[in-house]
Structure 1
Amino acid sequence: MSKILMLYASTTGNTELMAEAMVDYLEQEQHEVVTKTFDFDPIDVEELLEYDGILVGTYSWDDGAIPYEVEDFYDEVEDVTITGKPIGVFGSADSFYDTYGGAIDLMGKRLEELGAKVIPTRLKVDLEPDAKDVVQCQAFAAMLTKMIDE
């Protein structure tokens, strides 16, 4: 099966819960998943080339900004050719802010501009994922595997 990188940042644990739901699904489907967090794991953008697909999760800081721990990746990803690489972008957001999940949109747009084959829909969950959101996370992961197989 496919080798997938799960890469995420989570301050409150909400984006982490989304990532875990996707990893559980992917592993049940016999995919190899490597999980890294922007907070604790060194991320060398060259590593992206080692994977069949990538899931990138980020929360939105304040009114939609990219979180500090994700900024280096956001900037350095242009140093590697990801043209055609299947990628899904997701994260927890807060409907309290005027810009709902802005960092998720910024990341998705950035990856598209660099030629990645990004899942057209960004998966956003308002705060902590509930059972319905977990099902959406699983469906999102399934979309990535379908794109890998195409």
Structure 2
Amino acid sequence: MKTIIVYASMTGTTELMAQTIMEELTKAGDRVVLRDVFDAYAEELETFESVLIGSYTWGDGDLSDEILAFHEELSEIDLTGKLGAVFGPGDSTYEHFARAVDRLEETLENQGCNLVTKGLKVDSFYEDEEEIQMKCRLFAEKLISERVVTI
């Protein structure tokens, strides 16, 4: 499956998540393109079968500055028939934990994307790198198994 992973990362946690998910999908046979959001354009998502977006949450539930322009572009393209999922770190000490994941899922669905599984939220305040990578591997395995059912 031809998959793109677009991510926005400030501290490196979202990038770690994206790379871990990419490694697992590649092992399963996907042809994966990994893009930092600064190097991505929403319209290129239309050329992929599977779309994954990762972003951290800024403050108490906002999208990060890095992903705002991409999010606006995303709201203008048709993703009907695409499979998708969202992931991102958050800090559970805030009222709206990892809300960027929810907002990006909503946008993908509004654009016609079929979400394969519930978004992955990790707690970068309490979880260490090993725990985060383990959750990402399990997330990738779920993506692989669920999209077979979805297709």
What is the TM-score normalised by the length of structure 1?
A: 0.89
Which position in structure 2 is the counterpart of 1:58? 55
Contact 1:86 1:147 in 2 (8 A): no
Report how far residue 83 of structure 1 moved: 1.3
Q: Partner amino acid for 2:14?
A: T
**Residue 81 of structure 1: aligned partner:** 78
- In the aligned structure 2, how far is the partner of 1:91 from the partner of 1:129? 14
- Higher RCO (CA-CA < 8 Å; seq separation 6+): 1
Q: Are 1:35 and 2:50 an aligned pair?
A: no
State the number of aligned residues. Answer: 147
Of all paired residues, the percent bearing the same amino acid is 35
Structure 2: unaligned runs, 5 residues or longer: none
Task: Please state whether the residue corresponding to 2:32 is helix, strand or coil.
Answer: strand
Name the CA shift for 1:30/1:60 in 2 (closer, same or farther; >3 Å). Answer: same
**For each residue in 1:18-60, what CA deviation from the matched residue of structure 2 results, as whole angstroms up to 9, or x when unmatched?**
111111111212211111011x31x222211111101100000
Matched, 1:24 2:23: yes
In 2, are the aligned partners of 1:17 and 1:129 still within 8 Å (CA)? no
Deviation at 1:147, TM superposition (A): 4.8
Match of 2:8 in 1: 9
Q: Distance in 1 between matches of 2:13 and 2:46?
A: 28
TM-score normalised to structure 2 length: 0.88
